[in-house]
Amino acid sequence: MSNSPRKRHHKKTKQPTWLAYFGYISLLFAAIAGNYFQHNDESLRLFEYFGSNLQRTAGDSLWPYTVQQGENQIPLVTAQGNGYGGPLKVIVKIKEKNQSISDVELLHHKDTPAYIARLDSKHFLRQFKGKALNSDFLVDADIDGVSGATYSTKGITLAVRDAAHQASDKLNMPPTWQPLPFNFSIKDIVLTLVIIATLLNKKVPQPYRKGYGLVMSVVVVATMGFWLNSSLSLNAFGSLFLGYLPDWHSHPGWYILMSSVIASLLFLGRNLYCNELCPFHIIQQWLNNLSGLRFSPDKRLLNNAKLGINLLLWLSLMLILLSRTPAITSYEPFAMMFSLEGVGIQWYILPLALIGSTVMNNFWCRLFCPVGRLLNHSLEIRSKAKNKFLKAKRIRVREV
């Protein structure tokens, strides 16, 4: 009998194939159900908002709805734009005599609550009062934007612009407004340059690669984090899945970042965002290097954590698709880290993630991040599809 110690091998926890298929099929049904049951009855929303003061007008009237305000009937026009987390629907009250806006109110939204609260605190909607219906309604031109809520600001402004211009057409006002400009700002230029610089990382000669990586990490945190605050969240991917796309004239940066991340997954087989563009990932690494602690959890724990992240991702996507509200899963600490503005559970998650990172490298990324899991899972699917394609190709070659 041998006295040599036996090596213990921990079997990797493997997710059953049927469970993966169940996840995909259930998400498909959630998307169908969410689209079928979504609440689109505008008249019902308006009656809930105004109560008995709302009047539906006759078919030959200029205005579909009016609202009683004192002794006057104020015409209403509604329109919709997209914010960071989905549609924003506005009510524009019209002064027919003055051919101007009487008031603007937000009927409903699916945006991140913190951004809407920021607009409320800055009284953003007040500046639309009294503006001529055929005004430009362009942020940073005749409308003042709100820093830290750019998507919501531009989404609401575009909705008001649409509603006001509809009203001006009804009143036969001359269309004096300028076309919607393509707003490629200095921020979009910097974002593009940072993405290109990270893509070139592997082209840097080996002796200089470490220094280049250090410089790029500082640049990413400074730009992607504190200046642009453009960390990708599940909210962004939820908006993409539901088709809640921001206007490309106003938000070219969103399209640049999303297309770069997706293209790197599909064509390079590389998770560009998590590895090199995520400022929160870099912050975690800095904290871990500063503490000097290197807690390495058991492989079984990491494998089980992966199953846990899969479940968390599935639950989040189910809620997004059923409710058609991407902001419903706004718990990630990314934006709060760099703006110090958050809602609810984010105030507890951010300290937990930062403290955990001092003990274990990439604590949040490895144990909790749904965005990282979504991107890595996409890479796994790509890898499997590629292997099957190459295997089928080899078989065809042998047969020939």
**167 pLDDT tier (thresholds 50, 70, 90):** very high
Higher pLDDT, 5 or 333: 333
Between CA 117 and CA 113 the distance in angstroms is 6
pLDDT value at residue 32: 93
Mean pLDDT of the chain: 87
**pLDDT tens column, 176-211:** 999 988 889 999 999 999 999 999 988 899 999 999
Please state the rounded mean pLDDT for residues 329-348.
76
Element (DSSP H or E) covering residue 37: helix 17-37
| Residue the block writes with tokens 């009683």 | 68
Query: Contact at 8 Å (CB) between 342 and 350?
Result: yes
Q: What pLDDT score was predicted for residue 9?
A: 47
pLDDT of residue 269: 93
Q: pLDDT grade, residue 41 (50/70/90)?
A: low
Supply φ then ψ for residue 318, to 5 degrees.
Answer: -60, -45
Which residue type sits at 331?
A: Y
Confidence of residue 314 (pLDDT cuts 50, 70, 90): very high
- CA-CA distance, 375 to 370, in Å (whole number)? 9
pLDDT tens for 81-100 read 988 778 899 999 999 889 99
Model pLDDT for residues 55-82, shown as the tens digit of each residue: 887 766 778 888 888 888 899 999 999 8
Measured CA distances, 117 to 153, 249, 250, 287, 337 (Å): 12, 25, 22, 31, 18
Mean pLDDT of 279-294: 94
Mean pLDDT of 109-138: 90
Question: Rounded distance, CA 357 to CA 346, Å?
Answer: 16
| Close Cβ partners of 357 (under 8 Å, ≥ 6 residues apart) | 283, 284, 285, 287, 288, 363, 364
